Structure 1
């Protein structure tokens, strides 16, 4: 609750609120008996100039100046005096009062508390730290809460280039980003399952609760990508998108705390199973994002990435966009767009990429078993 409270003003990278959050996490690490593993106690600070265009690389080497921002990774360590280390991570920064990436369209500035994104992941990380302090001595454990994730995975990228342990001794990395909204059907997405041959069978062996959606790729829009890029096996746990994503309404009252505990227990069982497996082999995966079509228009919906039925299920509708104007609703399943049948997320994106601004077409949605047709203007 503290991390997603108004007092921290949305934890934007480099802000006073984020610094208070870093101090809070460091104190929790200390209370749990974790060793400091930053380069200033528990802290690893990095300064950078924000990008002025999306294709520019961030420069971490900066001169003093008003535009320089300093982020802070917070790093704790359980040293079992063995060769390999498991990295467990979660970002703790968010969007402050609505930085770039905010989906809020209100008139007044409001704090984006980021309870699910990603105070939830930090909470599960702390819970895992308390469990691992007393068990599983086949690996050391590095716990790292990242700054700068919302600005482009900056904290994790910086860490992998300036690690406080040897990257060669990193066994695998577990990332929790948005694990606070486990739905009634217990759908849990796990990304990176193809990055080591043992992951799929281990995840399956301990799953007696979740409807698992598994994705092979080690590349995705969260901090595990930075570790995959230096040849470390990764697993990213995620309970799915929702209407409060990147909005001021992502508050702690909406979290599923029992679900978070169940996810923590599951991850702990997976870690325990892998404890005596030595160093896991790394495997390169196909990057699905390279196959993603580029499109000039959108419906203005939040897709349900956890949906594994036929079509593309809508999990949220943006204000004043084509979908809302056409009368589409949350829960509708898009099964046809124009002349093309939509069977899944990829087919939806492929057909969407064929339209441009000003085009008109028809969309067919499955609404509680009834086929509803609507006119869309992009």
Structure 2
């Protein structure tokens, strides 16, 4: 982790007169440490600190040698919106009073090709907390090292590597604003593209890619958005334990491109106890794992470099099948678990699961009368209960079955 003095030095180098020569050697760790530093106060959309982060990314893109591809010859694409009061309504991009302005940062490599690859990651986070935060002890800086300085770090690394290598495609690199408020930056870009969208071949999204586990489990969503994805992902896999999800719709920026009929993949290393909390700090990231993910994405791009434009395919929207429920166990599911049941990746103190003695690592295999075989069956089982209900839960703990009483 960079110390405070090192972060200030890096900031000086970014905006100082000698920045061009120095920034070409900025490491993945340094990019993340700057973006996730306390000085940026969580990079909330529309804040002065988010603009500092945007200008840092702009400077990095400029020094890498990317062309500006925002508005009016700049690297920036701004969008102004009115915050939603109804969580189910669609955001309105407007000008006027009580609005917030977000800033996408866009760089481009023009290889004069007839197809363009879009590579994206959001750089905004939760600021001092508020809506979306899982921290219950008041305001605090949410640095968002994994969410999503990690994705931006790999994006910049890919830009550096693609600048003078694979020439079968053009490349658009986008650091999105407004993701935490509802995929706003990617939504706006996909409807107001600054590139020729008829050339858009596919989109690669990286959101929370900084916590690769020891068993190298990597989740990739959107694998059903083009017929070729399964073959390509397996052929280029350097040793990840892949968890593949076909749906092109999910809670990250790839969704905005899928909805414009562009094949899209989303890379994700899983949730953790620091998710949406002030403790998501840069020293906790697996940088070797991030390098491995970046190299994997590079191999995927290389595999498709000489191929014709991908065919788009619609997928089932799995979020439409998610049952509504009024209660919660108070656990964080392990979304990368591919065994039978729902593995608990974290337990919140004072909630039903903790009171019943459930532990991290327990695999829920039965809730009430319902057998739990995966996340969907777990949510269906949970939807049958209301606050005040009491039921039995059965878990597999290190190969031994345990039973406990849950009161919601």
TM above 0.5: yes
**Structure 1 Cα separation of the partners of residues 357 and 119 of structure 2:** 43
What corresponds to 2:314 in structure 1? Answer: 284
1:6 to 38, 46, 71: 38
3-state SS of paired residue (1:2) = helix
- The Cα shift of 1:364 comes to 1.0
Q: Bigger shift: 349-358 or 138-147?
A: 349-358
Structure 1 position 361 matched with structure 2 position 394: no
What corresponds to 1:52 in structure 2? Answer: 85
3-state SS of paired residue (2:44) = coil
- Per-residue CA deviations over 1:255-311 (Å, capped at 9, x if unaligned) read 000000000000000000001112111000111111111111111111000001111
What corresponds to 1:62 in structure 2? Answer: 95
What corresponds to 2:67 in structure 1? Answer: 35
What corresponds to 1:104 in structure 2? Answer: 135
What corresponds to 2:122 in structure 1? Answer: 91
- The Cα shift of 1:319 comes to 2.8
**Structure 2 Cα separation of the partners of residues 116 and 72 of structure 1:** 20
What corresponds to 2:168 in structure 1? Answer: 138
- The Cα shift of 1:208 comes to 2.9
**Structure 1 Cα separation of the partners of residues 52 and 173 of structure 2:** 18
Structure 1 position 269 matched with structure 2 position 299: yes
What corresponds to 2:48 in structure 1? Answer: 16
- The Cα shift of 1:371 comes to 1.4
3-state SS of paired residue (1:253) = helix
3-state SS of paired residue (1:23) = helix
**Structure 2 Cα separation of the partners of residues 208 and 49 of structure 1:** 44
- Per-residue CA deviations over 1:83-132 (Å, capped at 9, x if unaligned) read 211000000000000031000011x4210000000000000101100110
Structure 1 position 82 matched with structure 2 position 125: no
3-state SS of paired residue (2:151) = helix
- Per-residue CA deviations over 1:151-180 (Å, capped at 9, x if unaligned) read 000000000111001222111000000000
**Structure 1 Cα separation of the partners of residues 118 and 348 of structure 2:** 37
- The Cα shift of 1:189 comes to 0.3
Number of aligned positions between the proteins: 375
Structure 1 position 149 matched with structure 2 position 179: yes
**Structure 2 Cα separation of the partners of residues 369 and 239 of structure 1:** 25
With structure 1 as the length reference, what TM-score do the two structures score?
Answer: 0.98
**Structure 2 Cα separation of the partners of residues 291 and 168 of structure 1:** 32
3-state SS of paired residue (2:92) = coil
3-state SS of paired residue (1:275) = coil
What corresponds to 1:347 in structure 2? Answer: 377
**Structure 2 Cα separation of the partners of residues 213 and 206 of structure 1:** 15
Structure 1 position 375 matched with structure 2 position 400: no
**Structure 1 Cα separation of the partners of residues 164 and 238 of structure 2:** 25
Q: Bigger shift: 68-77 or 326-335?
A: 326-335
**Structure 2 Cα separation of the partners of residues 188 and 220 of structure 1:** 16
| Unmatched 5+ stretches in structure 1 | none
| Unmatched 5+ stretches in structure 2 | 1-32
- The Cα shift of 1:62 comes to 2.6
Q: Bigger shift: 149-158 or 326-335?
A: 326-335
What corresponds to 1:116 in structure 2? Answer: 146
Structure 1 position 200 matched with structure 2 position 233: no
- The Cα shift of 1:134 comes to 1.3
- The Cα shift of 1:250 comes to 0.4
- The Cα shift of 1:61 comes to 1.6
- Per-residue CA deviations over 1:331-366 (Å, capped at 9, x if unaligned) read 111011111111111111111111111111011111
**Structure 1 Cα separation of the partners of residues 207 and 218 of structure 2:** 12
CA RMSD of aligned residues (A): 0.8
Contact 2:238–2:296 (Cα < 8 Å) also in 1:
no
- Per-residue CA deviations over 1:54-95 (Å, capped at 9, x if unaligned) read 0122110232x2x21000000000000112110000000000
**Structure 2 Cα separation of the partners of residues 208 and 45 of structure 1:** 38
**Structure 2 Cα separation of the partners of residues 308 and 55 of structure 1:** 31
**Structure 2 Cα separation of the partners of residues 105 and 331 of structure 1:** 23
Q: Bigger shift: 274-283 or 141-150?
A: 274-283
- The Cα shift of 1:236 comes to 0.4
